[in-house]
Structure 1
Amino acid sequence: MPEHIPKLNMETLTRWRSLSYKELVKAVCSIFIPTETIPRNELNGLVDEALRNFRHKDVVPMSRLKSGLNILEMWHGATHAFKDLAMSCVGQFLDYFLKKNNRHVNILVGTSGDTGSAAIESVRGNPNIDIIVLLPHGRCTAIQERQMTTVMEDNVHVFAVDGTSDELDEPIKKLFRDSEFVKKHNLMSTNSVNWVRVMVQIAHFFFGYFQCVPPQANDVLPSVEIVVPTGGAGNITAGCITQKMGLPIQLVAGVNSNDIIHRTVQHGDFSLGNTERTLASAMDIQEPYNMERILWLAADCDSAKVKEMMDEFNNRKRLKLPLELQRRLLGMMKSCSVTDDNIIQTIRRCWEENQYLLCPHSAVATFYHYQQFDSNQNLPRCCLAPASAAKFQDVILRAGLVPAIPPEIEALMKKETRSVFLGKDDDWEKILREKIEAIGRKRM
């Protein structure tokens, strides 16, 4: 995390209101990246290149639908998911420094669905990078899995693991704890543990907010509620930082039946449960590691206090938050937990009212909006849509609707696939070590 999170004055916030999404990304990055690290003209060029191939001219357009529903579409990148927004910038920044320093890195990534394909897309074919991705076999959609396993570049190595996304994170954590191994093999992550991912995501909270603020509100910026479908909590961490920067947003963490974040916000109960399979599969997570960042922000950046709490959680897999900390957390965000039936009902309602298809994760946020709208809680509200409905055809069919399938997704089903299967009885950590060492030998 940054040592200091700047508070923006009204003059800056007023000026930022007129910026495009791409310009907001540059403005946010300029706050956190010193000019001596990346000169401004080069930084602007890297962001332009990162966002060059998004399918919509606004990059993240806002759809304004019936029942006061505002949907911020964050899925117009290469893999049809919001992870492309930050990951494309991570890829450009990383390439910039690797070329500058003539270095090679090994990226190790665990995914619950969308992260892996976006990470692969951002670095595929790059001679200075090898990327190793672990995916939970059979727990992603067929399209999500094929977006990873159909990439044939030599620098892409995919493992399909017989386990949950939380379980496949364990060998990754063990490897990163081995500091000698990490240093020897230049091992790094582009999961949202990587600060740059969180930093870039701050921009779409500003953009979504400004899209919802009436143009006549000049001197006083009103509150806007932003509803965030939440799994590993990297995206809502960016929202919490945006609050600290002075933007008057009220956050809502929307989760599925894997409700550890909801229980933590509502009751201070940060304790592990069993990971359940849901229709919102990318959010099937019970150990959202970015909660450590959120607790740090809520605890006034008291690192010693947060370390003590996280050590207790890692040892016991349960933690009861101090009452004052839970009160502060509840001041930062609301939360709701949404069932599979709620998701199906919401997808149907949105289609019936608007002929607009939601992915199951977007439906989590929209369910909360419909609840508030139907009870006349009608403050300005922005629902973040993290993925295209096209990636979740089975869920759309289950809702009794017909999925719209773009040709690039349809083509995936005809491509050759390549991955290594890791069974329950395999030593996942050992196999990963051997793979990384083999990459090193090949380069030598």
Structure 2
Amino acid sequence: MKYMSTRGQVPPIGFTEAVLMGLADDGGLLVPEHIPQLDGAILKQWQNLSYPELAAEVFSLFTGDDIPREDLKQLAENSYATFRHEDVTPVRKLDDRRYVLELFHGPTFAFKDVALQFLGNLYSYISQKTNSIIHILGATSGDTGASAIEGVRGKAGIRICILHPHQRVSKVQELQMTTVDDENVLNLAVKGTFDDCQRIIKELFADVPFKQQYHLRAINSINIARVLAQTVYYFYAYFQLRKQGEEAPVSFSVPTGNFGDIFAGYLAKRMGLPVQRLILATNENNILARFVNEGVYEPGSFRETYSPSMDIQVASNFERYLFYLYGEDSRQTAEWMEQFKREGRIAVAGEKLDQVQRDFAAYSVGNEECLDAISAYHAQYAYLLDPHTACGAAAADKLAQDGEAAVVLSTAHPAKFNEAIERRGLPQTFPDPIQALFDKPQRQTVVDSTNEEVKKQLVSFFQ
């Protein structure tokens, strides 16, 4: 398997090089040269595999000869041995045709652990096999940072710097990042929004000489390995439903900010997983919902919400979808992204918009509507949702169709967002690892939202 850029100016490269490159050197995103196609026989072979076994099978389709199968199996075993549930990502049935896919059983109680435990171990493996220097640079709206740090903290040959928007993540998310005292970890609190953090990251990776000089590696979902790891739980959830006796067509409702999680579902569907619908749930920062419903991709006014990890206006994985929407036409994709950079707007209509609406349904969840969903699910099912999962649940309820089984992706444990839970006066218990965070000292550096300021911190840290 080879990988190419969505903008077409990078020669085909192998899996390992794609992981190390992160953002393509031409500013695009890396995608596989072809999407593997799975038939019913293969899906039947996979349906009784454990989660680590399934992850190894999925990755084997994308790694080519770069990683031997036995090494892949060991990577998967090591990565998911840290999870608190034997199924890694269990499916919880709430009632007929309503399910929750619990993705928060990893070390930091967030869905990002599913991909970043694997990617952390993968980076360590690549470093040892190729003698590569691994300097990880990432941005987070809350959960990616803690999961990425947990995946590589203390590992020899790896340093990691994470940018987060200062005072715009939940307290637990902040503590999970900034109470880590390993010397290979640097937290930068950026005076701005997550979009500022993400812009800085993409521009630093696009500065190819700087990227190469300091051996920068990506941990965000611009890295194709992140997306591939997230496709696995769509397959695993589908198999769990079938084993539980659910025969209805299966749809997934996905809380969405950066388009990585739902793009993984789109990729799984393109591979052959029989997904009925992909429901894209946003909060009031609804650029993606507006694109699906109206065909216009244009940032609106930034809104702070009770679901801060989704407070994103420019979705880094959107370019991958554009590439596939336009028939893998890299020239057209590059033109669209240049137009967006120049005008801040992309618009599609006609057959292309029809295709978008065949690929996704979308709903934007209001702030109070999010809290209403938390209250309603607690009252009806005695089940406590975090505010991001609540957006997915509200969208599933709003767009429900007769005869389908809707699986809501639960992206975090509710204890990570107690600020929202407290607003409805609902009780919850903090897991011991989260409770312990409040007694630990913090380590972070507050910086302005400029490339120059961040560069200065990176040079000092990586040298």
Measured against the shorter chain, the TM-score band is over 0.9
Conserved 8 A contact 2:249-2:403: no
Aligned equivalent of 2:283, options 250, 256, 260: 256
Task: Indicate whether 1:224 and 2:250 are aligned.
Answer: yes
Partner Cα distance (2:233, 2:147) in 1: 17
Partner Cα distance (1:310, 1:428) in 2: 22
TM-score normalised by the chain length of structure 1: 0.94
Partner Cα distance (1:23, 1:253) in 2: 29
Structure 2 letter corresponding to 1:267: E
The corresponding residue for 2:49 is: 19
Partner Cα distance (1:399, 1:216) in 2: 35
* Change over 3 Å in CA distance of 1:137–1:67 after alignment to 2: farther
The corresponding residue for 1:306 is: 333
Unaligned runs of 5+ in 2: 1-30
Superposed, 1:5-84 pairs within 5 Å as 5-34=35-64, 36-66=65-95, 68-84=97-113
Q: CA deviation at 1:53?
A: 1.2
Aligned length: 432
Deviations 1:181-223 (A, max 9, x none): 1111111111000000000101111112222336779xxx863
The corresponding residue for 2:318 is: 291
Conserved 8 A contact 2:279-2:396: no
The corresponding residue for 1:413 is: 438
Superposed, 1:165-176 pairs within 5 Å as 165-176=194-205
Aligned equivalent of 1:142, options 164, 171, 188: 171
Structure 2 letter corresponding to 1:229: P
The corresponding residue for 1:213 is: 242
Structure 2 letter corresponding to 1:383: V
Conserved 8 A contact 1:372-1:378: no
Task: Indicate whether 1:243 and 2:273 are aligned.
Answer: no
Deviations 1:256-308 (A, max 9, x none): 01111111111111011122111111000000011111121222211111111
Task: Indicate whether 1:276 and 2:303 are aligned.
Answer: yes
Partner Cα distance (1:440, 1:150) in 2: 20
Unaligned runs of 5+ in 1: none
RMSD: 1.6
* Change over 3 Å in CA distance of 1:347–1:100 after alignment to 2: same
Partner Cα distance (2:376, 2:245) in 1: 32
Q: Which moved more, 1:428-437 or 1:42-51?
A: 428-437
Which structure 1 residue ranges, 4+ long, deviate > 6 Å from structure 2? 214-217
Conserved 8 A contact 1:268-1:323: no
Superposed, 1:83-232 pairs within 5 Å as 83-213=112-242, 223-232=249-258
* Change over 3 Å in CA distance of 1:427–1:371 after alignment to 2: closer
Q: CA deviation at 1:82?
A: 0.3
The corresponding residue for 1:324 is: 351
The corresponding residue for 2:17 is: none
Structure 1 letter corresponding to 2:146: S
Conserved 8 A contact 1:233-1:291: yes
Q: Secondary structure at the match of 1:211?
A: helix
The corresponding residue for 1:437 is: 459
Conserved 8 A contact 1:158-1:420: yes
Task: Indicate whether 1:234 and 2:271 are aligned.
Answer: no
Conserved 8 A contact 1:66-1:353: no
Conserved 8 A contact 1:258-1:285: yes
Aligned equivalent of 1:388, options 413, 421, 424: 413
Conserved 8 A contact 2:98-2:405: no
TM-score normalised by the chain length of structure 2: 0.90
* Change over 3 Å in CA distance of 1:320–1:56 after alignment to 2: same
Partner Cα distance (1:207, 1:33) in 2: 20
